[in-house]
Amino acid sequence: MTKNLRVKTSKFIDETYRISFKFNGKLYYGFKGDTLASALLANNVHLVGRSFKYHRPRGIMTAGSEEPNAIVQLHNNTSRTEPNVRATEIEIYEGLEASSQNCWPSVSFDIGGINNILSPLLPAGFYYKTFMWPASFWEKYEYFIRKSAGLGKSPTVPDPDIYEHRYIHCDVLVIGAGISGIMAAKTAAKNGLRTLLIEEKSYLGGSTIYQNSDHFKINNQTSGSWLEKEINEIKKIKNLEIKTRTSVAAYHGYNFLLARENLTDHLPIEKKENKTRHRLLKIRAKKVITATGSLERPLIFDNNDRPGILLSSAIKKYADLFGVSCGEKNIFFTNNDSAYETAISLIQKGINVKAIIDNREEIESKLIYEVEKNNVEVYKGYTVTNTFGYRRINKISIMQLSKDGQKVIGSKKELSCDCLGISGGWTPAVHLFTQSGGKLKFREEDQVFIPNTYSSDQLSVGACNGDFTIDLILSNVTKSLKHFFNLKHIEYENTEVLSSFNKSKRNIWLLPSDKILGKTKSFVDYQNDATAKDIKLALREGFKSIEHVKRYTTTGMGTDQGKLGNMHALGIISETAEAKMGELGTTTFRPPYTPLTFGTLVGRNVGEYFDIFRKTPIHEWHVENNAEFENVGQWKRAWYYPKNNEDMHQAVQRESKAARESVGILDASTLGKIDIQGTDASEFLNRVYTNAWSKLNIGKCRYGLMLNEDGMVYDDGVTTRLGENHYIMTTTTGGAANVLSKLEDYLQTEWPELDVYLTSVTDHFATVSVCGPNSKKIITNVIPDLDLSDKSFPHMSFKNAKIGNIHCRVMRISFTGEHSYEINVQANYGRSVWEKCMEAGKDFNITPYGTETMHLLRAEKGFIIVGQDTDATMTPIDLQMDWIVSKKKYDFIGKRSLYRSDTMREDRKQLVGLLTENPNEVLEEGAQIVADINKSPIEMLGHVTSSYFSPNLNKSIALGVVRGGKNMMGKKLIIPMEKKKINVIVTDPVFLDKENKRLNA
Amino acid sequence: MFLINCPFCGEREQSEFKAGGEAHIIRPKQPSELSDDQWAEYLFMRKNIKGVQFERWNHIHGCRKWFNIVRDTSNDEIKAVYKMGEKPPVG
Ligand SMILES: [Zn+2]
């Protein structure tokens, strides 16, 4: 039934601006300033969702980000759909469509509700225990569990919104713009500090701003109007930046914080277009003041979760701020004065308050007196023992508490109601403080954890520091700000404050009932349906640590991280296990404080901006010539150049044949290049490579293998001696940065006495590699002055040359086994040299080839690729590259490790060639290699590392690593595949031109 | 994310640096004279302390220099920063 529960006009709501929205398909109206929750309550809608495990009907419980129940899905089945949105936070806008989560088929009739009846079968650890049942059992349940559980649906189409990141550096960051935060921000800014004030709500002033009671006064004005003036003042301060709708998600060490600024979520859909939706603020602050306030605690009693049961402070906020009454027959249940504050607010607005049930027995306060004066019955020393009503609370039963609060006594009374406000006192919001590394202490008198020691230059003030009333806030915040900023004077020093709040509280973590505990449902974590009974069961089953109890019962593991009930869970554990609260410690509050969207985290790094990539100077030519690209490290490398609808295989076969039969051309600019200079350069190379370098003549090149200290192959490449004290080293494309870093490490930390300087010059040169029997003709044409005779310019040598006026370095080196040259030229000339070579090669069918053909050609020659044929467990000996390991050198990086008992084992995995029995069968890279397929379990001997169909040999070839493979030449092994097994013969890894005749052809 | 005071560049974000493991482990001058066990001790054994730890860091996206820091791993407080070859200024 729809009713209008709007009471007196609120100045925070614009009643001239009506907004329509849909909830579960039904049209409702609210006003500008409403949250979805306040608008629903104004329409008398309490039932908004179902609980996670038992699918119990649940209503709006709070008015803030701690909401456990009113979690909705926005704009279902659209690109802007979003799950897990708290109805208490989202502001309504024209066209908003929200629907309940966690209910199937609908919120009023829910199949999962049957779990509520079956609940004796769903104890703590239900899901863990389910997994331990026979697997077949699980399969039957899975469909229903998946269908009826889960929190919302993720979008299935790309997010249309824009997100961005911003860095902010400030002197002082103040988190929270309640009364304490306003005082802190004003003090900081007035003292000339660059200040940023962040508030998660759309308005400033926290819960004080709507405080309009004669019981709470500052300088003779109501605390609300006093604060309003303060806010108007700070808005004028130039060095104070204020951000509302911005919530701090994470507080890391060294005052580094992440916050999410929400820019468009409250706007009508058409106004969201083309605007930044969320901005992730990365804040580095010199000082941080947390003024995050406190969260009201619920009370734990039987059936404390029905729709219509709200926190007392939420009822006050709905009435005072939104002008909405949560019920027409209100009852409060409390252990402190807070509920009376709410009752007075309601009475002022003419809303019926029937009764207040107070745990405290002998208690007097001005607030209680005023409530009683208004004919509200106050039951002192009573507790609620049960509640009734399925879709909405309609009745409670109450009984008197025993002196020790452990039992109920006397006779039971029943009271009808349609709304129950509960208050268990306050919990300081210390989440961000603990995230930053701060340590808490336990305050016995009112059973709260408060900040104790800070890990950075920061301060907690106000309710999050345990000061819950305005008299304490004014005096303590003033004192601590004065000290924090080292001030002689602070304006709040002589403020007059009146507070009628009596600070007494009777804390009972789990309230007694006339039923035995096993028959009650007293919810501690509403979102995850963890009850007091579950926690006690976990303790009985032997769980002791709070972190274990949390995981076993799932208490505090929902999207709200148990903001409401964690303290009660601790309290119940402490009472049951007879351990002190302060010694139990709390569970860890992990970032984010409230959930963040992926869009916010990713910012602008989407699509082509997802990751940075590097292009060679010749990149555009490859694009223009139809190349397909592959990612190698951060580089985009031409992979193959398909012609006339060729697939990759066809293109690679053509390119490979052309390179061996005439001439191929490769862009090798991505290879890492390190310029090495200094009088000890030769000695340095001697120490970092496995082979000898001191006798390399100027103008000569040498291949080198670099190991880690553990003897495993790390990188390889050709290094050229350019001058007496000058070398240029090439590294693998992916390894360049790490090699440089490793070399710097040895140079700076182990061998600082060596006179050697390293400079990365990878990006400074473009490298064009021309290979094949006709390569010489191309180079002659492009660089006519260069003497290319074998005598003057043999394999593994280098010459400086000029193309026109442009200086270039030419190396005669080969990674394919063909006669080939590499031209290195200053990067900007790369494309022009490439095009000159293409022009010169026209008559020779010069064929550009990509990385795939390069890999195939080198595999024909049995050359390894570090990272493909090796992982971090292969020594040079394993690779059958003993020839490159100097026996004479006293030491080099990794040498000692080659003589460890483990690296000398004969049965290590060793690199071998593999030929399939059927020469047309190409193996899959990564396939496992076995000898005996009938053995159980089958013993895995190794795997295939490289595999191709060689057009030059006209058969399939592969490299692989096999346990003891060196001694298996000619042996038959088996590659078991899903549907077949393939026979292979172990061979030498060099398949083509074992005598290296082609190099000098 | 902490701030590290590079002894060559000054205070910079942690993301500019690369951690290089435990400090003050000297590469043996004569590895071939060590037993397998002695070599393994150098190669593999590293402390992992909750508390004050001596670490190597590299300003990899800055001056590329290696240096040492003294860090309390329990709260990430950096107690000192000093150059390679220097003695730790605090114990
Ligand atoms: Zn630096």
Decide if A710 touches B, using CB distance below 8 A: yes
Contacts of A66 (CB under 8 A, 6+ apart): A295, A560, A563, A564
What is the arithmetic mean of pLDDT over A713-727? 97
Count CB neighbours of A219 within 10 A: 14
Classify strands A96-100 and A82-86 as parallel, antiparallel or unpaired: unpaired
The answer to whether B1 contacts A745, with C-beta atoms less than 8 Å apart, is no
Contacts of A897 in chain B (CB under 8 A): 39, 43
Q: pLDDT value at position A593?
A: 87
Whether residue A571 is predicted with pLDDT greater than 50 in this model: the reply is yes
Selected residue of A165, A168, A254, A739 to mutate for chain B interface (largest B Cβ count, 10 A): A254
- Compute φ and ψ for A354, nearest 5 degrees: -85, -45
Q: pLDDT value at position A106?
A: 62
What is the arithmetic mean of pLDDT over A589-611? 90
Q: pLDDT value at position A960?
A: 98
Contacts of A896 in chain B (CB under 8 A): 31-32, 34, 39
Q: Return the higher-pLDDT residue of B78 and A111.
A: B78
Q: pLDDT value at position A1?
A: 46
Q: How far apart are CA A888 and CA A902, in angstroms?
A: 22
What is the arithmetic mean of pLDDT over A542-555? 85
Contacts of A338 (CB under 8 A, 6+ apart): A296, A312, A313, A423, A425, A426
Q: How far apart are CA A857 and CA A953, in angstroms?
A: 11
Whether residue A121 is predicted with pLDDT greater than 70 in this model: the reply is no
Contacts of A650 (CB under 8 A, 6+ apart): A642
What is the arithmetic mean of pLDDT over A309-321? 97
- Alpha carbon of B12 to ligand 1 centroid (Å): 8
Residue A125 binned pLDDT confidence (cut-offs 50, 70, 90): low
List the single residue in B26, B39, B66 with the smallest CB-CB distance to A900: B39
pLDDT, chain A, mean: 93
Contacts of A254 in chain B (CB under 8 A): 1-3, 76
Q: How far apart are CA A93 and CA A265, in angstroms?
A: 9
Q: pLDDT value at position B77?
A: 92
Whether residue A977 is predicted with pLDDT greater than 70 in this model: the reply is yes
Q: pLDDT value at position A776?
A: 97
- pLDDT, tens digit (0-9, with 9 covering 90-100), for A229-269: 999 999 999 999 999 999 999 999 999 999 999 999 999 99
Proportion of chain A above pLDDT 90, given as a percent: 84
Q: pLDDT value at position A547?
A: 85
> Taking a C-beta distance cutoff of 8 angstroms, is the pair A923, A984 a contact?
yes
Of A21, A51, A54, the C-alpha closest to A39 is A21
- Written in H, E and C, the secondary structure of A285-344 is EEEEEECCCEEECCCCCCCCCCCCEEEHHHHHHHHHCCCECCCCCEEEEECCCHHHHHHH
Contacts of B6 (CB under 8 A, 6+ apart): B12, B17, B59, B62, B63, B65, B67, B81
Q: How far apart are CA A914 and CA A909, in angstroms?
A: 14
Which residue in chain B is spatially nearest to A711 when comparing CA positions?
A: B43
User: How many angstroms from the chain centroid is the CA of residue A888?
Assistant: 52
Proportion of chain A above pLDDT 70, given as a percent: 95
- pLDDT, tens digit (0-9, with 9 covering 90-100), for A354-387: 999 999 998 889 999 999 999 999 999 999 999 9
Selected residue of A453, A748, A887, A899 to mutate for chain B interface (largest B Cβ count, 10 A): A748
Decide if A891 touches B, using CB distance below 8 A: yes
Whether residue A865 is predicted with pLDDT greater than 80 in this model: the reply is yes
List the single residue in B1, B36, B77 with the smallest CB-CB distance to A900: B36
Which residue in chain B is spatially nearest to A750 when comparing CA positions?
A: B27
Q: pLDDT value at position A621?
A: 98
State the pTM of this model: 0.89
Q: pLDDT value at position A146?
A: 55
Residue A110 binned pLDDT confidence (cut-offs 50, 70, 90): low
Contacts of B39 in chain A (CB under 8 A): 896-897, 900
What is the arithmetic mean of pLDDT over A608-637? 95
The answer to whether A744 contacts B43, with C-beta atoms less than 8 Å apart, is no
Residue A119 binned pLDDT confidence (cut-offs 50, 70, 90): low
Whether residue A117 is predicted with pLDDT greater than 70 in this model: the reply is no
Contacts of A901 in chain B (CB under 8 A): 36
- pLDDT, tens digit (0-9, with 9 covering 90-100), for A645-680: 999 999 999 999 999 999 999 999 999 999 999 999
> Taking a C-beta distance cutoff of 8 angstroms, is the pair A502, A363 a contact?
yes
What is the arithmetic mean of pLDDT over A170-199? 98
Length of chain A (residues):
1001
Residue A147 binned pLDDT confidence (cut-offs 50, 70, 90): low
Which two three-digit tokens encode residue A161?
Answer: 């919104």
- Alpha carbon of B82 to ligand 1 centroid (Å): 12
Whether residue A592 is predicted with pLDDT greater than 60 in this model: the reply is yes
